[in-house]
Amino acid sequence: MAVVFVARSAALTKWASDVGQGKHIFKLGVAEDEAAVKSAVAAGWGGETDWKLIDSREIDGLDEETALARLGRREKVIDPTYYPRLKGAAGVFRIALTNVQNSLLVAKAMTADEPLTEVKVKPKDIADYMIRNAAA
Residue 119 pLDDT class (50, 70, 90 cuts): confident
Q: What does the pLDDT average to over 103-121? A: 83
CA separation, residue 47 to residues 21, 39, 109, 127 (Å): 17, 15, 41, 22
Cα(31)–Cα(91) distance, integer angstroms:
13
pTM: 0.91
Torsion angle of the four alpha carbons 18, 128, 45, 85, in this order, in degrees rounded to the nearest 10? -30
Q: What does the pLDDT average to over 78-82? A: 89
The CA R_g of the chain, rounded to the nearest whole Å, is 15
